[in-house]
Amino acid sequence: METGTSSSRSGRRLLVALLGLVALAFVLPASALASPTHFVKVYKVEKQLDLDGHGYAHDHVYCNPGDYAVDGMWRVDNVDQANPQIGVFGDMRDISVTRSYSDLQQGGDRTKWHFEIKNHADGRAQLKLFATCLGGKTVENSHQHWIKIRPKKTTAWFPGGDFSSPALGCIPGKEVAVGPGFKLLSGGDVWEKSSYPGNPLSSSWNWNFVVSSPSAIEVSVLCLRKQTGWKWHHRHNLKIWLKPGWWPNGARTLTKNSVQELRVSCYDGYRAMVGAFGVAPSYHGYIHFLGMDPRPKTRAFKFWNTDPFNDLPIYLATICIGNRTGHAY
DSSP secondary structure string, 103-131? GGGGTS-TTEEEEEEEE-SSS-EEEEEEE
Residue 19 lies in a domain: no
Q: Is the model's pLDDT at 163 over the cut of 80?
A: no
Q: List the single range of 60-69, 165-174, 314-323 with lowest mean pLDDT.
A: 165-174
Residue 32 lies in a domain: no
Residue 303 lies in a domain: yes
Residue 2 lies in a domain: no
Q: What is the pLDDT of residue 88?
A: 81
Residue 24 lies in a domain: no
- How many structural domains is the chain composed of? 1
Domain of residue 265 covers 38-322
Residue 4 lies in a domain: no
- What is the percentage of the chain residues whose pLDDT exceeds 90? 80
pLDDT tier at 202, thresholds 50, 70, 90: very high
Q: What is the pLDDT of residue 31?
A: 41
Task: Note the pLDDT tens digit of each residue in 84-118.
Answer: 888 789 999 999 999 999 999 989 999 999 999 99
pLDDT tier at 153, thresholds 50, 70, 90: very high
Residue 75 lies in a domain: yes
* pTM, full prediction: 0.88
∠ CA 34-242-313 to the nearest 5 degrees?
160
CA distances to 40, 68, 70, 104, 237 from 43, rounded to whole Å, are: 10, 10, 10, 19, 19
pLDDT tier at 35, thresholds 50, 70, 90: low
User: Could you give the CA distance from residue 25 to residue 30 in angstroms, rounded to a whole number?
Assistant: 10
Residue 296 lies in a domain: yes
What average pLDDT does the chain have?
Answer: 90
**143 or 5: which carries more pLDDT confidence?**
143
Q: Is the model's pLDDT at 15 over the cut of 80?
A: no
